[in-house]
Structure 1
Amino acid sequence: MDAPAKKRRTRIQTEKRELILEAALEVFSAHGFRGSTIDQIAEAAGMSKPNLLYYFRRKEDIHEALIERLLKTWLQPLRELDEAGDPLTELRSYIRRKLEMARDYPRESRLFANEILQGAPRIMPLLEGELKTLVDKKAAIITGWMRAGKVATTDPRHLIFSIWATTQHYADFDVQVRAVLGSHLGGDSRFEDAARFLEQLYVDGLRPKD
């Protein structure tokens, strides 16, 4: 844990930490953990390396702080899946929220993807703990909807994986998406177009058959 965290931080300390984390997000999302250095982060933050090391002693500490923050944000749409709501409406809203995150947090998405591609050496406990527990809980809710005949029967975990893959594509492969769509389709409206398509794909596919 970084040294200043052991006591109450001042406003300036909080601002400096946020500056460092913002700079580190830019560096890590572009170069990955292994390809990034403290010197690069310090330069991006506009501060000296010794000054940066006052707030975070190691590159690993900065990365850990970013990942912990990312997971809280990244998992919030799944947490909001409400068992008491209409199942198709809940799933439609979940898809929308995931696409909004792809649009608004592309660097965070690349940071997470880079970590997973490296075998998740720094976040495996979080994946096997907090993430798995949440997915198991929501999979049980979806299974309940299926047993009640409210949605078509399928594998709930692979459904969640599929939604992750199709929505996050628009963050991690945004350059490719815009290149293929071209200037007339690759503008800001591409996320709305994607939302309509994915809603049709999933909602129609999960609608119970008569």
Structure 2
Amino acid sequence: MSRISEHNRELIIQAASEIFADQGYAATKIIDIAKRAGLPKPNIYYYFKSKENLYRSVIESVIDPLLQAAQPFYENGDPATVLAQYIRAKIKVSQQHPHASKVFASEIMHGAPHLPEDIAEKMMEQTLQSSSKIQDWIDQGLMDPVDPHHLLFTLWASTQTYADFDWQISKVTGKEKMSQSDYDLAAEQLTQMILKGCGVQRSKAAKAG
């Protein structure tokens, strides 16, 4: 793909993320996305063929980093390290993909009518893997006996809120936009609460290192 084509696709996905987040799938019109992207309407169809394909691309633009955020569950055995990395990565997704995050959240809240089956399966596989790892830590005595699923629900809600409820956050904080230090503080504070609240202990390997 040429640099121009890649740039145009990124422009369209960003514009579509904003429109889908504001209006929802059904009310969104391709012409509105084209105007927001500053491109002719035929360009949208040239790159994505249909509104459905474009919507899928918007969903994928946030699903890929969400799946990547869970990589520590596959690569590290220390719960304190994994949970801290996961929280920071999830906060970063909300920071860098706020509109696509809202689109994804709205899709889920409406029963995922347009969520492609292969994406749903990837997310379920990731959730099962993450839950299994948390249960392993509990069995090893590295965490209090919390419910793995509800812990994940808490992490999802508390990190995604920085994208989905940005208007409320702006009103409460008096800031038009959160700074990098605000996001860092959010990640650090949430990590502290989760590690202490769940009685997380460092693994022997992590202590030795």
Stretches (4+) displaced over 6 A: none
Map residues 1-210 of structure 1 onto 2, 5 A cutoff.
9-82=1-74, 84-123=76-115, 125-126=117-118, 128-183=120-175, 187-188=178-179, 189-207=181-199
Deviations 1:30-49 (A, max 9, x none): 22212210110111122222
What CA distance in whole angstroms lies between the structure 2 residues aligned with 1:190 and 1:15? 30
1:90 to partner: Cα distance: 1.4
Once residues 51 and 93 of structure 1 are traced to their aligned partners in structure 2, the CA distance between those partners, rounded to angstroms, is 39
Higher RCO (CA 8 Å, separation ≥ 6 residues): 2
* Contact 2:18 2:99 (8 Å CA) reproduced: yes
In the superposition, relative to structure 1, how do residues 43 and 83 fare at CA in structure 2: closer, same or farther (>3 Å)?
closer
Give yes or no for contact 1:29–1:107 (8 Å, CA) kept in 2. yes
Query: CA, structure 1 residues 65+146, in 2 after alignment: closer, same or farther (shift >3 Å)?
Result: same
SS in 1 for 2:73: coil
Q: CA deviation at 1:74?
A: 1.6
Report the residue type matching 2:131 in the other structure.
A
8 Å CA contact 2:56–2:116 kept in 1: the answer is no
Q: Distance in 1 between matches of 2:23 and 2:3?
A: 30
- Listed as ranges, the gaps of 5+ residues in structure 2 are 202-209
Report the TM-score, using the length of structure 1 for normalisation. 0.84
Deviation at 1:130, TM superposition (A): 0.9
Structure 1 distance, partners of 2:144, 2:196, is 10
**Retained in 1: the 8 A contact 2:17–2:100?**
yes
8 Å contact 2:79–2:200 — kept in the other structure?
A: no
Contact 2:91 2:162 in 1 (8 A): yes
CA contact (8 A) 1:88 1:203 kept: yes
- Structure 2 CA distance, aligned partners of 1:25 and 1:76? 20
Judging by fraction of residues, say which structure has more helix: 2
Taking only aligned residues, the RMSD between alpha carbons, in angstroms, comes to 2.3
1:47 partner SS: coil
Decide which moves more: 168-177 or 21-30. 21-30
Percent of aligned positions that are identical:
37
Unmatched tracts of structure 1, length 5 or more: 1-8
Q: Matched residues in 1 for 2:34 and 2:144: separation?
A: 52
